[in-house]
Amino acid sequence: MTDPRAEFLAGERLDDVALFLAESYVSDDRLEEFGERVDGGVVIVVDGERGRNAFRAATGTDAMAFAQSAMALEGLVDSDLAGGQCPEAPTDEDEHAVQFVFAFAEERNEDAGGIYAEGDVVHAYARCRCGTSYSDRWTVLDSA
C-alpha cells in the first residue's frame, strides 16, 4: 500500500500533480475513489496529464493558466496541500476557506540557484472562496 500524497510531498513523484478539492466546492463522493479523504475535502495525486485534465473538469479552469495567474500573489498553502491562508484575510475566516489547490514538484536545480538549489521544490496554487488566487512554494526538506 502506498501513500501518494506523502510520496508527492517527499519529492518522489515529480511527474505527478496534486489536487485538493474542498467538499464545499465540489461535492462528488466518487472523488474518494481517486484520492484521499482529508478534513474538508479530497487530495488527489495523479500523473501530470490526467491531473491537469481532472483539474479542468473539477474547476472549469486550465491548470497551468490558473498557476500562472496565482503566481501574481504570494500566500500560504498548507504543507499537506489541504488548505491555506488567503492573503486577503486577516484570519482563517470561513469566507476565506480554500476551494481548491493545484500543486506540482520540481526537481532540484543547482544552476537556478536560490530555493531551487536547496532541493526539490513544491509549487502550490490555491483559490480562496473570496475569489483570490495565490501561490506558495517550499523545498521538500521544509515540509518533511
Distance CA 107, CA 85 (A): 26
Q: Distance of alpha carbon 84 from its chain centroid, rounded? A: 10
Domain boundary assignment for the chain: 4-143
pLDDT one digit per residue (tens) for the chain, 144 residues: 478 999 999 999 999 999 999 988 876 666 667 788 888 899 999 998 888 898 898 889 999 999 999 999 999 999 999 999 999 886 656 678 899 999 999 999 999 999 999 999 999 999 999 999 999 999 997 665
26-64 per-position pLDDT tens digit? 766 666 677 888 888 999 999 988 888 988 988 899 999
pTM of structure? 0.90
What's the pLDDT score for residue 24?
80
Nearest-5° Cα angle at 87, 102 to 7 = 30
Q: Tell me which residue of 75, 2, 85 sits closest to 45, measured CA to CA.
A: 2
